[in-house]
Amino acid sequence: MATGKYIQTSGIPTRLPHHKNKITHTILSMTTFQKDRKSNAKFILKKWLFTITLFLTPFLFDRIFKTHLVKDGYPFMVVVFVTVSLFDKISLNRLHKLSFDHENKQVIFYYKSLFGDKRKIALYYEHAVVEVYRYKPKWYRKHESIRLCFLKNKMELFEINTYKDGFNTATMKEIIKAAETIPLTIKEWQ
């Protein structure tokens, strides 16, 4: 049975030589997908610094050109917004591993926040519905964003996003293919 870029032979995965990314591996009756991003801390720091730069630009513009563009309450507003933005980015639960356990018929999500403990949630195949949302920005056609929502009885249990969780588009497509082979109920949205 072929699973993405790997071939399963009697429960032992064999990697095809031309593929360099770690997309999936199969152990006996489990297919596992790992995130492609090395560190969430660097990603969060980079996005937070971008937010700071965005809010400090009018302040610096005002200091350089003496325009009185910035009012008295602006620095306080920037500090509050940047702090809230940082806490929001830190507290998000980010998936680092997704497993399809064929023996127990479960989808297992391994996740953690930046400073939190590792946790896992299991979802039985019979209760699982996967909603796939695909988005291509008009200004940059090569980039495709995919969001997978795993639902349990019409309630969202977990959301996987290429941006938030660090899975690249190829890995997300492999997850969709693996979900189709189980078969899970899949709804596609554009």
The pLDDT tens digits of the residues spanning 165-184 come to 989 889 999 999 999 998 89
Quick one: pLDDT at residue 127?
93
Q: Which of 14-23, 39-48, 137-146 has the highest mean pLDDT?
A: 39-48
The DSSP bridge partners found for residue 50 are none
- Mean pLDDT, the chain, integer: 82
Query: Does 30 have pLDDT greater than 90?
Result: no
Q: Which of 19-28, 76-85, 133-142 has the highest mean pLDDT?
A: 76-85
The residue whose two tokens read 């949302």 is: 133
How many alpha carbons lie under 13 Å from residue 133 in its C-beta half-sphere? 8
Average pLDDT in the 33-44 region?
87
Structure tokens that stand for 148 in this block: 């997978």
Most confidently predicted of 25-29, 81-85, 177-181: 177-181
SS (H, E, C) 13-44: EEECCCCCCCCEEEECCEEEEECCCCCHHHHH
- Say whether 9 sits in a helix, a strand or coil: strand
- Round to whole Å and give the CA distance between 32 and 27: 8
Q: What is the pLDDT of residue 8?
A: 39
Domains, the chain? 2-34+92-189 (2.30.29), 41-91 (no CATH)
C-alpha distances out from residue 93 to 60, 159, 176, Å: 34, 10, 21
Is the model's pLDDT at 155 over the cut of 90? yes
Instruction: Read off the tokens for 20.
Output: 């360099």
H or E element that contains 112: strand 106-112
Looking at residue 24, its pLDDT comes to 52
Residue 109 pLDDT class (50, 70, 90 cuts): very high
CA-wise closest residue to 115 among 165, 46, 167, 40:
40
